[in-house]
Chains A and B, each alone.
Chain A
């Protein structure tokens, strides 16, 4: 007999959460794991043995490279994201609020064209190196990206945003009197930063590092396009699969997942080792006084230059989309500009189908994320039950697994009927992609909801119940309206990422649900760089419109999501 109503309610709420996680996170992962144990028709650890003792050590090399790149990506992203967060949150200068929103623009860059844009920008025959070469009359291009450096730069560009967002949020939460106390004790700026501010940001930095590490481990487009020969685990998985070695692909996936999850656990342990809770008792925080006007303008100029650099890839895509195919082949700079690509694009009667598909699937997935995220987060934050940390880890797993692996998991799990798919074969159907998007963005929405819920005082809920409101009424009329802005920020981010999603899409799309990113890839495959770019521009515009509307009319800021 269940002791009381509250426990019963917790169980009712927990039930769907556990079911969904078990069906769409745990079960597919287990299927992959089981697959990895198959060798020559029998169950064994042979595949793992092969992985490690293989003569040529390619797998180990790939594993090492993945970890190495991910580590470096964390470092580089942190070095960009943290200072930017400081500049935009600590100092007031003209245009600050615009720049701080612009700083999240890298997330609207479509993945494939985005990487191509980088090559056109910074590659050996890219615009920037050649402009510099021609301006200064150099013999050689001064620099170029490719291989490792290319991957790193692309990672840094797209992933610093995570540092930027988490650290910005943390900076806001730091009680300024802590820094003042340090000044008062005689510490200079430098000391105060390194000994007080920076350590206090640890939880935020840990969270961002975790994210960036896991995303880099899983990163696909960048190594795929930039380093054909540089071995990383996510590509190995892809190639093993392409080669038809499903068991090996599964083994590699499991190992990659283990590395990511270990890192996740390590980071949690590290963060819990010390106490960073700021024991502030609600003293109004105040901004430090603004210093010299010179500083102010220096900041503004840095900000402007930063934003220009951030926007260069977007401009490059725009540029590419305006250059008709076949007019920028051997030429260093493009010479012909027109809207031919757009004309070709819009002549196609099917042009809007991928757009519609992407939007529709993103909306479905994001709605599911919203509902699931709010319930899960509520249960995790506000309810007590055994096995909470298990649920917590399950929620994080979709981030710890590379998108490719998630795609594979889904294939293994749902290319035959199962109870979780209501007896349907999902692979090859429309629903598989929304499902994949949903799974991939579970952690994002749950995390951002957790953040608001944790700040919400329990007594608000109690007050409502004391006034006679039942739980559901309270939830609907009190909790939801209060947390909605924060929740929607996370949801918006999930939506944006769903619209441009590539790595799982490429494994799972079908005719009926072909999304934008696949359309772009196919244009690329047919060497229609210009049309691919034009399509990319369409995608960027779409996302920017969504961002603008949600910011302008609903006051939701995606940059506040983490």
Chain B
């Protein structure tokens, strides 16, 4: 019946739809090009997209506030969307599949809805380390034996890393309301960290070539690298639980092509689309009604950390700023 529903939507609105739609998305050329083609074939609406980092999208949507260029923002951690909706950058839209989304997978006011989940994991170079040696939980990363083995993406510009670091603080913060222990933890991690890489590509490269052997990163990316790009990577899901990010989609406030935007919004999160994304692009769907998911999703047991994302949004900047200014050892890179 979902199929009919969707068909109804499309047929009903086809006539009034604008002839163009602009999508901002960090999903990259492969995904975007594919959905562009399908959407254009189906609706005859010209899809244009810009791919850039989610943080950059937020930044850009902000600077284009007076003259919005984008219609749809597809893909970013929910924290980014929360921030954007707080600044009035998003338009509310309740999609047809809203019933199939669990509580945490959408904005209460429907400013965004989730499309996929991203658990954060410990990633390692499978040529350098065996499955047994690898730390099984966050705290094991602090073991001095990993000194100078850990290479981390520079967290300030990375939603993934911000989430992980915030989660590390949040673990104790939620009880004590004091980030001190978390800061302590991060300080120790910093001592084991060899380098903060400017972009993911550099981090992959360094870990693949053995300059370091451990990192923390998002699971779908690790799987994708391993399967598609033949990197010698494996991952471990921390035993004590891991933050699971929700990636979402939203319509930009003041969008110039609102009808087409809604169509696209629906289109990329149909059951088929979700399944396809899971199979081809290693994304774990948020919809609870997607059948026949690939084996790596069903067999992996993820223990999600219980997180109040509002706290993340509220405190995140402050925590990261503190990390940046007080924890990160500035001479890390100058040492060599």
Our verdict on whether A and B bind, yes or no, reads: yes
- Point out residues on A near B: beta carbons under 8 Å: 54-56, 58, 61, 116, 119, 124-125, 144, 146-149, 224-231, 239, 241-244, 325-327, 329-330, 332, 348, 411, 415-416, 425, 427-429, 506-507, 509-511, 514, 522-529
Return B104 CB to nearest CB of chain A, in Å.
24
B334 close to A147 (CB less than 8 A): yes
Q: Which of B176-225 contact A (CB under 8 A)?
A: 195-202, 204-206, 208-211, 225
Q: CA separation between A523 and B28, bound complex, in Å?
A: 8
- Please tell me if the beta carbons of B229 and A527 are within 8 angstroms of each other in the complex: yes
| Inter-subunit contact A525/B51 (CB<8 Å) | yes
A527 to B67, CA, bound (A): 32
When C-beta atoms are compared, the residue in chain B nearest to A522 turns out to be B51
Q: How far is the CA of A523 from the CA of B201 in the complex (A)?
A: 10
Which 4 pairs show the lowest CB-CB distances between chains A and B? A147-B333, A228-B154, A56-B325, A125-B209
How distant is the Cα of A327 from the Cα of B229 in the complex, in angstroms?
8
CB of B101 within 8 Å of the partner chain = no
Q: Is B16 an interface residue (CB 8 A)?
A: no
The answer to whether residues A229 and B328 also contact, given A124-B211, A527-B204 and a CB cut-off of 8 A, is yes
B interface, size bucket: 35 or more
Q: Which residues of A contact B231 (CB under 8 A)?
A: 326, 329-330
Kindly provide the distance from the CB of B234 to the nearest chain A CB, expressed in whole angstroms: 13
Q: If A416-B66, A525-B53 touch, does A125 touch B330 (CB 8 Å cutoff)?
A: no
- Across the interface, B206 reaches (CB within 8 A) one of A125, A506, A509, namely A125
Besides A147-B333, A226-B198, A526-B28, 12 other CB < 8 A contacts?
A: A119-B202, A146-B195, A228-B195, A229-B196, A244-B83, A244-B317, A326-B230, A415-B67, A427-B63, A522-B51, A524-B201, A527-B204
CA distance A507 to B52 in the complex (A): 11
Q: In whole angstroms, what is the CA distance A121 to B291 when docked?
A: 48
Determine how close the nearest CB of chain A comes to the CB of B231; give it in whole angstroms: 5
**A-B contact list, 8 entries, CB within 8 Å:** A230-B334, A239-B157, A243-B156, A243-B317, A325-B229, A329-B209, A329-B232, A507-B63
Please pick, from B22, B62, B83, B230, the residue contacting A511 in the complex, using a CB distance under 8 A: B22
Q: Is residue B228 contacting chain A, with contact meaning CB distance below 8 A?
A: yes
Q: Are A225 and B202 in contact (CB under 8 A)?
A: yes
With A229-B196, A522-B52 in contact, do A425 and B336 touch (Cβ < 8 Å)? no
A329 to B317, CA, bound (A): 34
Does B13 make an interface contact (CB < 8 A)? no
Q: Which residue of chain A lies nearest to B317 when distances are taken between CB atoms in the complex?
A: A243
The answer to whether B65 and A415 have CB atoms under 8 Å apart is yes
CB-defined contacts of A507 to chain B, threshold 8 Å: 63
CB pair B64 A427 closer than 8 Å: yes
Query: Per DSSP, are chain A's interface residues mostly helix, strand or loop, or mixed?
Result: loop
Q: Mark B6-18, 1 if CB is under 8 A from A, else 0.
A: 0000000000000
Minimum C-beta distance from A55 to chain B (A): 8
CA A526 to CA B224, docked complex, whole Å: 11
Secondary structure type dominating chain B contacts: mixed
Does the CB pair B229–A326 fall under 8 Å?
Answer: yes
**Are B210 and A522 closer than 8 Å at their CB atoms?**
no
- Set of chain B residues within 8 Å of A326, measured between Cβ atoms: 228-231
* CB proximity to A under 8 Å, residues B304-331: 317, 320-321, 324-326, 328-330
- Let me know if B50 and A514 touch, CB within 8 A: yes
A149 to B335, CA, bound (A): 10
Verify A58–B50 contact, CB threshold 8 A: no
Quick check: B201 and A332 within 8 Å, CB to CB?
Answer: no
A242 B59 Cβ-Cβ under 8 A: yes
Contact assessment for B330 and A61 in the assembled complex, using a CB-CB cutoff below 8 Å: yes
Residues of A within 8 Å of B63, CB to CB, are 411, 415, 427, 507
The answer to whether residues A125 and B210 also contact, given A325-B229, A510-B69, A522-B29 and a CB cut-off of 8 A, is: yes
Q: Can you name the residue of chain A whose Cβ is closest to the Cβ of B151?
A: A228
- Please state if B336 and A149 are interface contacts (CB–CB under 8 Å): yes
CA distance A524 to B29 in the complex (A): 11
Q: Is B118 at the interface (CB under 8 A from chain A)?
A: no
Min CB gap B124→A, angstroms: 12
In the bound complex, residues from chain A placing their C-beta under 8 Å from that of B198 are 224-228
Tell me the bound Cα distance from A230 to B197 in angstroms.
11
Cα–Cα distance between A96 and B16 once the two chains are bound (Å): 68
Query: In the complex, which residue of chain B has the Cβ closest to the Cβ of A120?
Result: B205
Cβ 8 A contact of B29, one of A56, A226, A526: A526
Q: Does B174 contact A (CB under 8 A)?
A: no
| Contact yes or no, A244 B209, CB < 8 A | no
CA distance A119 to B153 in the complex (A): 16
* B48 touches A (CB below 8 Å): yes
Q: How far is the CA of A258 from the CA of B40 in the complex (A)?
A: 50
| CB of A6 to closest CB in B, whole Å | 45
Say if the beta carbon of B56 comes within 8 Å of chain A: yes
Given A243-B317, A510-B69, A526-B30, decide whether A327 and B230 contact each other with a Cβ distance below 8 A: yes
Q: How far does the alpha carbon of A416 sit from the alpha carbon of B127 in the complex, in Å?
A: 54
CB contact list, B41-65 vs A, under 8 A = 48-53, 55-56, 58-59, 62-65
Contact between chains at A242 and B199 (CB < 8 Å): no
Q: Is B131 close to A, CB under 8 A?
A: no
Residue from A230, A244, A411 within 8 A of B330 (CB atoms) = A230
Compute how far the CA of A428 lies from the CA of B22 in the bound complex, rounded to whole angstroms: 12
CB contact between B154 and one of A229, A522, A523 (< 8 Å): that residue:
A229
Chain A residues near B200 (CB-CB < 8 A)? 525, 527
Q: Check: B125 CB closer than 8 A to any chain A CB.
A: yes
B303 CB-CB contact with A under 8 Å: no
Residues of chain B contacted by A529 (CB below 8 angstroms)? 201
CA distance A54 to B232 in the complex (A): 44
* B208 adjacent to A228 (CB under 8 Å): no
